[in-house]
Structures are given as structure tokens and as C-alpha cells.
Structure 1
Amino acid sequence: MVIRPVAPAGNGAVPLSTGDLEEICAIIYKRSGMVFGETKRYYIERRITDLIDQRQAHSVRNYISILRSDLNETELLINSFTVNETYFYREQHQLACLSNSILPDIIRKKGPGDRIRIWSMPCSSGEEPYSIAIWLLENWPLVDAYNIEIVGSDIDTAILRHAVDGYFGQRSLSRLSPEIRDRYFEREVDQQRQLIRDLRESVTFAKGNIVDRQSLGALGRFDVIFCRNLLIYFDEAAREMAARNIHELLNPGGYVCLGHTESMSRISETFEAVRFPDAIVYREAVRLSDG
């Protein structure tokens, strides 16, 4: 039997039938919790066309068959659909809240030298967790008095490799002052600067899927969790699952920082909003006893 490639649509992308679109979106949702559908058809068709070409699958059905049988291919599919738009010192008010309010509260129950664990999920290409490390070095006088562990996680394995390498262009660095850029980054080469080795080694990176508890099992628990601008891509069921997993990974008295358009209070009753001078964040809700 000869398989004839599907002719691209006018926009250069292979057109998807309604059934193919739904099947691909179901695979993405099952593996990542991200919701895609008819309103994102153009976006989906462009990426599926690229993946069909890379795999030399020749047709949409062939490519879906590969997805069904090859977990590595599903991982590449998820990588192609993740959004990695970020930059250093994004939502800086939350970083100020971290040093001015969150950490001072956390260390009330800790002693010098104790461990403080901070998780950035999704960490994208590294700007998120590296920003935390730089901010604390620059703005928290007690940074050397505690054992601070910063972990960055993302479902996108390709972007994690980029994060480990630590190369960043001018767009990523645009919010940093020239002094900070010169202090923490090597000289520019080919319009990119590499983060200095000490800072690259100060952050641990690990693959993680916020809606898959099993994938998070080895990460341990954290005092502060940054999960910004991720839940907006989920439906209600996936958001509730993510909230449960975040709750399980949070130490008692710990804090969660979401994106400015997100609200944990609308998702889960296990969290309550805390209004600090710099930002609104979330922590485990205090439940009053019946007696």
C-alpha cells in the first residue's frame, strides 16, 4: 500500500481533521494537563507539520500511530507545545516579597545553617530559578546564613538542557542592570552571555510534570514554591490536580507564588491568600476546630 502525504493547507501546515485534532489534544492533555482545542487549530497544525517532517511520518495518521507507541515521541510533542517565554527578574515584586517577607517568616522556625528549599516549576530555560539565586545574593543579607537549595523543574526536557548550559540572550537579560550582568555573567559571545559557573551549579534541574505526582516523587518538599503562569493553560480538573500536588510538596508554613492572573483560592480550599506589602501569595489554610 502506498501512503500519500497530505497536502499542506494554504498556510503551509498539514490540515487536521476534527478527529485527529481531538486525538492529539487528548494525548497532550493526558501527559501534561495543558488544554488545547479548535481555537488553537493553527498553532497545533503548524507544530504537528514540523514534527511529521522531522519524523518523516508522511501523514497525520502515521504520526499519531508513532505517538501511541513511542513515549519518547510523546515527550517531543509536549516539548513542542510548551511556552518558554520568560526573562530574568520577571514579576520582580514577588522576588522582593521573597526576601522582605516570605523568608523572614520561614526562618522564624529555623536556625542558622538550616536548609531552605525553593522550587521553581515550570523553570523554562532557567531564568526563573537563576533569578531567585541572583536576587537573594543581591537583596537578602542572610543568604549565607542558611543552606539554600533551589530546584528548577519543567516538563520540557529540551529546555531543561538549555537551562543547565546557562546561555542567555539580550532579551532574557534586559531587566538586569549592567552591574548585575557583569557580576554574574561571562562576556558576551555571539550575542549571548553564559551565567558564571558558581551560579549554574547553585541550581539543580529535574524533569517534572505538575499534574503527575509520580514524576515529582523524588523532589522532596519545599518551603517556597514558584509556579507562575502555568495553571492558566489547564482546565479545572488539571488545576485541582496541580493544587493537590503542590500542597503535598509544600512544607508546613510554606508559601506558593503564582502568576499575577492566577488565584489558588479559586482552585483549592487548602490554600489561603496572604497579603504582604510586595505581593499576594498563598499558604496552607488554617482550619479552625469544631470545638
Structure 2
Amino acid sequence: MTKAIRIAETGGPEVMKLVDIEVGAPGPGEAQVRNHALGLNYIDTYYRSGLYPMPLPAGIGLEGAGVVTAVGAGVTEVKVGDRVAYCGGPVGAYAELRNMPAAVLVKLPKKVDFETAAAMMLKGLTVQYLFRRTYKLQKGQTILFHAAAGGVGLIAMQWAKALGVTVIGTAGSEEKAALAKKFGADHVILYRKENVPERVREITRGAMVPVVYDGVGKDTFQASIDSLQPFGLMVSFGNASGPVPPIPLTVLKGSLYLCRPGLMPHTAKRENLVEMAADLFRMVGSGKVKIEIDQRYALADVVKAHKDLESRKNTGSSILLP
């Protein structure tokens, strides 16, 4: 028997229950992983609330790091004793022990500990695909990145700085603005108090930006669109303030581009996952990107963890400890 979080219905944080479950031997193509640390991500709240539908009852969580304790038939990607991390489906990471497809596991370099891995895989790979695959940033460009002091944001600030990119970040408080600047933001706009497009226009001397990365959603969508230069790209990759409502195509002003990317399609092929993870490990290993873990919770305190996450008062990365 092992401890795991399960939900029988969608709703608020209280629907999550810590229960005892039995974990059998891994099946063909599967590996059994004893989790040492788990990632806490905003996408977890989408599954819990029902925004992202899934069959119930179900586990929850997408990210973790631990040790392989058993492998099923035909597994070649990992072996017993390997230190591994993961950040993709299937859901069910909030557990002490789990069976999962071996193909989604990546081996950890010796210098990366379990807590760092659990805090960085989903967020770090998100930044990797945003900056290197969705829109390939070039030295000297200026970008707008919302929620600059969040878990994804702090990694993005450092990665952009390493690429020689000027970053205009947004934040909801003076404290978060200071944190974003500490991690590399060149300018920070307080989006609750300031007019974002006007400030972008001032900072860029009227040029605006070629790309906006927006993980906030409903509250910032129009400001993001209005901050783009002609033929600019609006990258809407999250819904922290709620999903963007339906919009007319005329919002694109005849020349703008809009995309709604996600991590899972980018990592669906194992060769892409391994390549992207290697890029992330290089950035972290070089010291150019440091992973800030600002909140740690016991797995039993997952309800409080989700409440804190949804209050948007957290900074940096958060992890659960089984």
C-alpha cells in the first residue's frame, strides 16, 4: 500500500483526499517510480476544477522526481536504480509510489537533486519550448512576459537574460516586481495599477514587442494584444486568471498572430523530450538558470498548497514532499 491523492469529483481544493492505494507490478512498457519530490503547478488546478476534463475517480499531478524501483517487460529507457524525473501525463504524480510509462522518464544528471528536478521540469521545459520552439528568441530582441515572478516567470527571466534578450515583465505587487528584477527582468510593469500597453510603448519608444508570452489569460489578454507590433505573435500559454473568452478574429488587427501552445504536444515524441530536457539541464548546470523553491508542502497538506497557489501569492516554484 502507498499514500496518494485522489479526487472523486471536480471542484475546490477540498475534493482532494489522501488515501491508501495498492500499486501492483509495472506492466509492459511501464516503470515503477518511488517519488522523492513532486511538482506543484497551476495546471494541476485545471484538472482538479474540471477545466481540463478527465475520467473520475482519478489521481492528480503531472510532475515528480524519484528512483526507479521496478520495470515492466520491454522497458529500455530506464533501469532499476536510475534517478529520474518527469513532467507529462498520465496524471497521478501526487503519490509516494506509482507506475507510469517509461518513455516519459528522463534520467537526472548527478548535479540535479530531486527537489530541484521536481521544481523545474514542467516549468523549465515550458520556457524551453516557448523560447526555442514556439518563437525562437534572438539576441537583442525585447519581449513582454506576464507573471514574471511566478515559477515559470523566474526561469524565463534568467533564460532570456542568458540569450541577450531584453525582458519587460509584469507583476501584481511591488514585492513581486522586485523579485522579477532580481532574476533578470529589465523592466517590470505593475499590471493592476499601470496601463500595460502604454508602458510598453514608453519602454520601447513606440516600437512595441514582437512577441508576448501570456500565462495569465483572461485578465491580460487584451493588454497583450495591444502591446504587439505589426506581425507580432501573441503566445497564450496559461489561464491563471481564468480562460480567455471567445474572441472575434478582428482582434488580431489584420496582421497579428495568435497561438495557444502546450507542453505535452512538444514532448509527445521521446526524442523531443530528451532533447528539450538536455537543453534545460545545460542551462541549469551552467548556472545561468537557478531554480528557486520558495514553498515546500507535505503531501498531506495538498489542500493548503492548492489554496496558496490559487491565491497567486506564491513566488518561484513550489513542491510537495511525499
Higher radius of gyration, 1 or 2: 1
What's the TM-score once normalised by structure 2's chain length?
0.26
Structure (1 or 2) with the greater strand fraction? 2
Structure (1 or 2) with the greater helix fraction? 1
